[in-house]
Chains A and B, each alone.
Chain A
Amino acid sequence: MQTIRIKVYLLAMLLLGASFGARATLTIEITQGVDSALPIAVVPFETKGLSSPLPVDLAEIVASDLNRSGVLKAMDRASMPGMPHYSNQVNYDHWRNAAQDYLVVGRVLEESPGIYRLEFQLLDVLKRRQLLGRSMPAKKRDLRSRAHQISDFIYEQITGTRGAFDTRIAYVRAQKNAARKYVLQVADSDGFNPQNVLESDQPIMSPSWSPDGNYLAYVSFENTFPEIFIQHLATARRSKIAAFKGINGAPSWSPDGKFLALVLSKDGSPDIYTLNTSTKRLKRLTTHRSIDTEPVWARDGRSIIFTSDRSGTPQLYQIGADGGKPRRLTFEGNYNSAPSLSPDGRYVAMVHALRGEYKIAQLELETGNLTILTDSSLDESPSYSPNGKMVLYASTEGNNGVLYAVSIDGRAKNKLSDQAGDIREPVWGPFESR
């Protein structure tokens, strides 16, 4: 009998921050930029007079966030015509000549040791006026999160869309040559601050965020069979919620947080069920002898989109949350699976096979238009950002899984890479996941 070792972690929020910087952090590389991105200069924040240097470079975090969006293009620091920290120090002509549309200036004030106040201003270079100014308190450990919030303010002011930089992602990391080979991790949306949720020497799969961002549901093989657990991130308290004979898979939280959709094969073939998480009542939605799997909820909670090969190949279907007759959604191609629904409910991202290559595609539900978003060949696990502007997914390079985020127009792409592991099954948490 082999020994199974697992370890459950609580996300020690108090220990968060710079100390995690040395751990296998994801690094981000923009692999595909957008010509039409709006130029913005994020000047390094003033930090003079601080009792010790800041552990992070706030302007660098903001610039990198904005770059990743594909909507904005941050100016290279070395080319900046000046280093103003207050709006009244700005010579607008210089920035206009440097072809910048927007300018961000800011400073860090130390109120007491380790307690800061961050101030920043977003300026419109052409109109020579302030668009936004904010001041916020920050402790040393949440400087990174505060920088992402600044990015969110700027992004929303310029685009009118809520920013999703100050959110988290979850994913599974497979470690070669490690005692516990599989690790479920949660990190910031830019891949920093990775923290372990669960480590096991048996596979971990299919993480799913609760809508309040406090829990993850996942599949663990720690008892040599797949079982579904729910884990409270802050306390590491977890409960096993499905351990039926056969498959227990693909958990997905309903928008109100009261139900999980899941896949069980206890009655024969894999079928979609819903589970009331408080009463534990199970309801079977599909009965076909095909593989029915990968359920996700519509935003109104009234229907579920899932993968089924009832037609002979995997395709996406929609069924009422109380059951009924499923309606087929995809007709292009012979492999469409792993749906993710955009937050506005207009689009479904999926794994789509095209001439033997597996790509991420997006279906517009109203028109039936299918757009291919990626150009690699082993892409999987698409997941929308909570503002619906990016799709996070996993791809394969060499022998490692790597994470990418692509804009929903397919034009901007970032790689979240990591030398230390094989990363898969990313899921972008809700706005509340912070």
Chain B
Amino acid sequence: MNTLTLIKPWMIAAVLAVFVSSCATTQEEVIEDGAPAGDQTQMEGGSSGADSSGGVSASGVEGGTEGGTSAIAGGEMSAAEMLQQPDGPLSNRTIYFEFDSAALTDESIAILEKHGSFIAANGEVSVRLEGHADERGSREYNIGLGDRRAQSVRRVLLFQGAATDQIDTVSYGEEQPVDPGHNEAAWSRNRRVELIYTVN
């Protein structure tokens, strides 16, 4: 078992050389910022969505496109190599949420569809979905919330053809914040699901 967490400097250099002409600027923003650029607006519109966590993402999933599969499964790269592409379609492995909600934005669904197609096309790959919540409210309720978020992500991956035995979910609730702050900026970074890949 080989957990992919390290990106070697030479890989970044190599891949940047390839991508530099097309999309270097936008990709750099994403890398430098802990939260994706779109998250800020997501968060500000947040309060109305707080109570509507029920039906989550069904409509969004059906709107899934065919773009994902060809982009991911194509080429001669191994699954491990594809995962190591720093600016590749699988490089975004954190999905963010609004307060007390497990609803996925269209942007998140588009990201997850690429992951789902990749997992479906690579049977040797498995993924652990780690759900998290911000610190507000009670700890076990936040475990429930982190679980609901992980399930939300799982549903999209399964819909793309990933097999159930390729996906594990775990909720850490508010126990493992990435940002220790006590403000909306920190909270918005902590309300997340992380995709942790393993290539068997």
Which positions in A face B, CB cutoff 8 Å? Answer: 1, 203, 205-206, 221, 224-226, 246-247, 249-250, 263, 265, 269-270, 291-294, 307, 309, 312-314, 334-335, 337-338, 351, 353, 358, 378, 380-381, 396, 399, 424-425
CB atoms of A378 and B138 under 8 A apart: no
CB atoms of B51 and A294 under 8 A apart: no
- The answer for the CA separation of A358 and B1 in the assembled complex, in Å, is 43
Total residue contacts A-B, CB cutoff 8 A: 100
B79 part of interface (Cβ distance < 8 Å): no
B17 smallest CB distance to A (angstroms): 33
A2 smallest CB distance to B (angstroms): 8
CB atoms of A247 and B54 under 8 A apart: no
Partner of A353, one of B137, B139, B147: B137
Stretch from B37-45, B65-73, B114-122, B167-175 contacting the other chain: B167-175
Among the interface residues A221, A249, A396, which one has the most CB atoms of the partner chain B within 10 A?
A249
Partner of A312, one of B3, B51, B147, B180: B51
A4 smallest CB distance to B (angstroms): 14
Partner of B140, one of A263, A353, A396: A263
- Contact A381 B138, CB 8 Å, known A270-B147, A399-B180: yes
- Contact A380 B139, CB 8 Å, known A246-B169, A291-B145: yes
* A interface footprint on B17-36 (CB within 8 Å = 1, 0 otherwise): 00000000000000000000
9 CB-based A-B contacts, threshold 8 Å? A205-B140, A221-B172, A226-B170, A269-B148, A291-B145, A294-B141, A309-B100, A312-B51, A314-B100
Residue numbers in A under 8 Å from B138 (CB-CB): 294, 307, 314, 337-338, 351, 380-381
Partner of B141, one of A205, A338, A399: A338
CB atoms of A396 and B182 under 8 A apart: yes
B54 smallest CB distance to A (angstroms): 7
CB atoms of A226 and B137 under 8 A apart: no
A263 smallest CB distance to B (angstroms): 7
- The answer for the CA separation of A226 and B176 in the assembled complex, in Å, is 13
- Contact A246 B147, CB 8 Å, known A381-B138, A381-B139: yes
